[in-house]
Amino acid sequence: MKTHRRGQGVLITGGSSGLGRGLAEQLAAEGARVALVARRAGPLAEVVEAIRARGGEAHAIVADVAAKEATYAIAGTAASLVGPIDLLIHAASTLGPVRRDGLPPMPLLLDLACEDLAQVLEVNVVGPFRLTKAIAGAMVLRGAGTIVGISSDAAQEAYPRWGAYGASKAGFDQLLRVLAAELHDTGVRVVTVDPGEMDTPMHADAFGGDHDPAKLAHPREVAAKLLRALDDASVASGARIAVSSIPSIPSISSNSRDEVSS
């Protein structure tokens, strides 16, 4: 088990499910002190309890990253629980309005309400930007830290019905690329990550009846690959990491797929 993360302070948004949960479990197993943010108290408490049961350190912060008034409360609470934040991971995200009546789950752009687009941008761009501002300054002063934005291939490809989500991911990707350029030589690394298709509730919402877990990566596998990439000193600030290009890790086998993050 890796020990170089022991004692590191980590803040993960979207920590109650999917990749956020997978990263939290892996980081805690490696000795990091993990603070998790999510809107739903029940699922978040379940993740924290599971991590603690395995001997890891995890703390729940029930909050909405899109709420402006929650930004500094999240940052301050996280620092009080796990110490200075060495690793900030933006995993919280929303698709926007999703139908569950058998019709295509997501709307065409001309059917998308402007208010729904605004909400997607608040969750996927503006909220994470506020939290980054609240955390990154201390990283610069310490001369160390990593900021990770979880992106999507929808940020680069024009998929019909993915307009709001794709635009939000493209926007946040660009913000982080510019931030990386502005923080050049400060010791703070900023990267974005395309995790690929995973067996998550969000994927199930987006694809409805076409969601097939057997054809998708488990979030734990993706988390292990992503952390492996972050350990690679050759991955420079401003990089976009495509998890699909990272070789599989033998120790993460199909037998580990007994729990599907929810």
- The full set of domains in the chain, from first to last, is 72-122+131-253 (3.40.50.720)
Active site residues: 151, 165, 169
The residue among 201, 180, 205 whose CA lies nearest residue 260 is: 201
Question: Considering the chain, what percentage of its residues have pLDDT values greater than 70?
Answer: 93
Report the run of H or E that residue 79 belongs to, with start and end.
helix 71-82
Best CA proximity match to 41, nearest among 20, 60, 68:
60
β-partners of residue 33 are 9, 57
pTM, full prediction: 0.92
Segment 41-79, tens digit of pLDDT: 999 999 999 999 999 999 999 999 999 999 999 999 999
| SS3 state of residue 167 | helix
User: What residues contact residue 139 under an 8 Å CB cut-off, 6+ apart?
Assistant: 85, 86, 145, 147, 186, 187, 188
Segment 201-227, tens digit of pLDDT: 999 999 986 778 888 999 999 999 999
- pLDDT digits 0-9 by tens, 121-176: 999 999 999 999 999 999 999 999 999 999 999 999 999 999 999 999 999 999 99
Burial classification of residue 172, based on how many CB atoms lie within 10 Å of its CB (0-12 exposed, 13-18 middle, 19 or more buried): buried
Which three-class secondary structure state does DSSP give residue 61?
strand
| Nearest Cα residue to 202 out of 9, 8, 17, 2 | 17
Q: Which amino acid type is present at position 178? A: V
